[in-house]
Structures are given as structure tokens and as C-alpha cells.
Amino acid sequence: MTAVIAGLYVCSDSTSFVSERRPTVTVVPNGFEGDKHATWTRAADSRAKSYPRGTTIWNSRQLSIVSEEELAEIAAALSLPDITPEQLGANICTRGLPALTHLASGTQLLVGDVGLYVTALNKPCINPGKVIEAQHPDIPNLANRFVKAAHDRRGVVAVVERPGTIREGAAITLVAPASPLQPGVARDPA
């Protein structure tokens, strides 16, 4: 199955968590043009446990990527008809990468001329849960249940390695990070 870009999204409103769909996006050196996460640095938050909250650190979360397949799994776990990339504030939704969240850090996603570098899996936070809960006021405790259901299904975050343009429907090529020989593997004599 070929992996493709199922949807592209930009969050241009700095006061909102939700992103908006676009048929095409311009990728600048630190994110999607016009997206509030397109910065070189950010303030450490609860996800950056190695640093005091508020410390200025490298922004390794320029882009948030989710997969259609994992969103369907989250929705099924919550008995909801769907969970959308917009609700999660995602920038890219993929189709054909059912275990997107399991990609190792250092994996490259090549889309046309654009290169993205996966920095980490994305840990679920309560914010999209609140968005989803507000849209389904009849279902109790949805925000907290979202966090649990989204664990290991929340996709990955990435940085831009090579800027360019991405269009919906474009094919995605994965490049795994280089791995060393395992310890104990015989070497050729030098």
C-alpha cells in the first residue's frame, strides 16, 4: 500500500488549538507557512520533562502528523463516528501508515521535494479531548477518555529538513534512520 498525504492543515489562529484544512501548503524551514507552530524555539511545556517549564528550547514540534487509521482506532475506542485531524490540531494526516506512531525518531518522510524528520512520538494531551468533549456534550468524561484512547495512536511530531510545497494526495516515501551493526556482529578487518 502506498502511503499518501490524506489531508493538510494549518493553525493560523494563535488563540485556537484547532487547525484548518488546505489543499496545498508551503513548507518553510521551520514549519508550514502561516502555522503558529512554525518557529525555531518554543517554551518548554509538560511534554518537555527534561527542562523547567517555560525554558526556551529548540522547537522539535514544528509539525504534528496523524494517520487516518489510528484516528479511526481512537474513534472506535470512544464509540464516536470519527476523530478529525482538525480536532487534534494536526498539520498532516496520512493514509497507508497504520502504525505511524511507531515510526522511530530519525525517520525521514519524503513528499515530493519536501523532507520531514520525525523527532518524537506525540504524547496525547487533554486539549483535543476538550475540543471533542465540547462537540459531544451528551457523552460523559470524553476529554480524559480521549487521552487514554489516544495513547500510542497520537502520531508523531517532526521538523522540516527540506522546504518546498506539499499537495494533498502526494505520495510519502519513508527512510529509516541509519542503524549500527549489532554488538557482536563480526567486522571485516580494517
For 27, residues 6+ apart whose C-beta sits below 8 A from its C-beta are: 33, 114, 160, 163, 164, 165, 166
- Which window, 1-9, 11-19, 50-58, 86-94, contacts a copy of itself (CB under 8 A)? 50-58
Contacting a copy of itself within 112-151 (CB under 8 A): 115, 117, 119-121, 123, 145-146, 148-149, 151
- Asked if 1 is part of the footprint of a copy of itself (rule: CB under 8 A), the reply reads no
40 binds a copy of itself (CB under 8 A): yes
DSSP 175: E
Q: Which of 101, 125, 132, 166 binds a copy of itself (CB under 8 A)?
A: 101
Nearest alpha-carbon partner for 167 in 38, 4, 53: 4
Determine the size of the site formed for a copy of itself (CB under 8 A). 48
Q: Which of 94, 88, 99 is nearest to 130 (CA)?
A: 88
Contact between 167 and 32 under an 8 Å Cβ cutoff? The reply is no
Q: C-alpha cell of 190?
A: 580494517
Residues lying near a copy of itself in the complex (CB under 8 A) are found at: 29, 40-41, 44, 50-51, 55-58, 60, 77-78, 99, 101-102, 104-106, 108, 110, 115, 117, 119-121, 123, 145-146, 148-149, 151-152, 159-162, 175, 177-181, 183, 187-190
